[in-house]
Amino acid sequence: MNALDASGDNLVQITDLTREFSSGGGFLKPRRTMRAVNNVSLDVPRGKVTGVVGESGCGKSTLARLVLRLLEATKGTVTFDGKDLSTQSQAEMRRLRRRMQMVFQDPYSAIDPRYTIRRALLEPFQVQGEAKSASEAKATVDELISMVGLSPRMMASFPHQLSGGQKQRVGIARALALRPSFLVLDEPTASLDVSIQAQIIDLLESLKEELGLTYLFISHDLSLVRYFCDRVVVMYLGRLVEILPGAGARPRHHYAHALLDSNFEPDPTRRKVVTMLGGEIPSPFAKIPGCAFAARCPAANDLCMRERPPLTDLGNGHMIACHNPMD
């Protein structure tokens, strides 16, 4: 229980995490650097679902990869169950990897096109050096595939014979194979229809209860995030701009507000006219001294242009990085 004591209620702790990417640097091309994840600090409470939302390109997938150390950080630390991941040996990392798995965003790249579904589902065991007898393998694969609502008859199929949604379910089954305790779900239901999505969310909810799983859940679907997540983290251009303590909490950061306002309700009697944000999302290479949202924010002032707003606590775990929060 030492590890638990060391990390308290947080399975994962992210501190000042930054990841830079460079491009160019060839002949006559200046080398440019961008911060895909910019000084993010975040605790992921054990047994809870932490949601991450934000525009495409704001750094959600990069954050996910950093957290699992599938990508090295430029700066900052991630601790998993009290262990600083950057100081773990290869062997220790491999043992830890069993406990932390990722479901990738793109169902097309997640499974090797040359593998049958059966082989794709058995691969995690091979990577971990766990051989299985033929009957064990069949039982395992049968269980995994029906867990995600696919027909066992699909086992001999190749990925190209499956629809996008079917492939995504195989990706989820694969991540669950080793019974991890921490699952990073990078838009796991983006390519699925609502009935399969409901099935998968239901499955994730019961797995969480049964196995005490902890999730970091990245999604574009705000209705889903508000249903499924205990807390919602809003990112913009690599920065964390707001943490909503509960899914029902009203956002007070102007970007978080615009984001939630853009969500169409699944109710034809409640159609809305969305307010179009002016301006475009700045280039990720732009050096922005102040608030990253200032170029599009209706409440931006001089201070917003000059100084980066610090993340401050409004109480009850509601955190916001804004100079002039909404009422």
Partner 1 sequence: MALLSVQSISVSIGKLNPLDGITFTIDKGEILGLVGESGSGKSLTAMCVMGLLPRIGGAITKGSIVFDGCELIGLPEIEFRRLRGKRIALISQNPMTSLDPIILIGAQIDQVSKLHLGLSAEAAKARSLDLIAQLRIPEPAAIHRAYPHQLSGGMKQRIVIAMALAADPDLIVADEPTTALDVTIQAQIIQIMVELVRDRGLALMLITHDMGVVAQACDRVVVLYSGRVAEMNAIGEIFAEPKHPYTRELIRCIPRLGQEPGSLKGIPGTVPSIIDYPDGCRFNPRCGDARELCRAQVPALERKSSGLAACHFSEV
Q: Which residues bind partner 1 (CB under 8 A)?
A: 53-57, 146, 149-151, 153-154, 162-166, 190-203, 205, 220-224, 226-228, 248, 258-259, 262-274, 276-277, 279-281
* Interface characters, 254-273, with ligand SF4 (x: CB under 6 A): xx------------------
**3: β partners:** none
Q: Binding ligand ATP by CB under 6 A: which of 107, 188, 284, 290?
A: 284
Among 11, 176, 304, 319, binds ligand SF4 (CB under 6 A): 304
Name which position in 300, 311, 318, 319 contacts ligand SF4 (CB under 6 A).
300
Rg (CA), the chain: 21
- Burial label for 76, CB within 10 Å (0-12, 13-18, 19+), is middle
From 10, 62, 101, 197, residue interacting with ligand ATP (rule: CB under 6 A): 62
Q: Which is nearer to ligand ATP, 93 or 281 (CB)?
A: 281
- Does 61 bind Mg ion (CB under 5 A)? Our answer is yes
Provide the strand spans (E) within the chain.
Answer: 10-23, 32-45, 49-54, 75-80, 83-84, 100-103, 182-186, 214-218, 231-236, 239-244, 312-313, 319-320
Question: And the tokens for 172?
Answer: 């989820």
Q: Is 164 in the site for ligand ATP (CB under 6 A)?
A: yes
Supply the minimum distance, in Å, between the C-beta of residue 86 and partner 1: 31
CB of 87 to ligand ATP, least distance (A): 24
Instruction: State how far the Cα of 231 lies from the Cα of 51, in Å rounded to an integer.
Output: 6
Residue 250 tokens, joined: 């009203």
Distance CA 298, CA 107 (A): 37
Beta bridge partners of 50: 216, 231
- Per CB under 6 A, which region of 40-48, 200-208, 223-231, 316-324 contacts ligand SF4? 316-324
